[in-house]
């Protein structure tokens, strides 16, 4: 079963060592809009190469621009034995602090 959270809930839920926020947007998108502080960047275009470095004991919150690509990555993670939630609305719905390059 796939679960999701609203982007507005993100800051409340990603506290702790066992929770990781993954941003799957491409680098140029992060440069345009900024990114959530502490997010790990794994572009969707190269995600297959990154998945082996992830820890199955952690819970991953997956974010993109609007929530569509992150939902695909979330399902890929779930299909491979990881715990993952989609961030609904993505960076467009997120209203917290942002970092930039």
Q: Is 40 a catalytic residue?
A: no
- Give the integer Cα–Cα distance in Å for 38 and 14: 10
Catalytic residue among 64, 77, 85, 87: 64
Q: Is 81 left (phi over 0), alpha (psi -120 to 50) or beta?
A: left
In angstroms, the CA 26 to CA 42 distance is 8
Point out the residues that are catalytic. 64
């Amino acid at each position: 079963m796939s679960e999701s959270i609203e982007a507005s809930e993100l800051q409340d839920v990603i506290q702790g060592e066992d929770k990781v926020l993954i941003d799957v947007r491409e680098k140029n998108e992060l440069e345009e809009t900024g990114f959530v502080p502490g997010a790990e960047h794994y572009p969707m275009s190269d995600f297959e190469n990154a998945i082996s470095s992830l820890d199955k004991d952690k819970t991953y919150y997956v974010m993109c621009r609007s929530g569509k690509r992150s939902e695909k990555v979330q399902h890929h993670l779930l299909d491979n034995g990881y715990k993952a939630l989609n961030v609904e609305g993505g960076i467009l719905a997120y209203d917290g602090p942002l970092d930039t390059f």
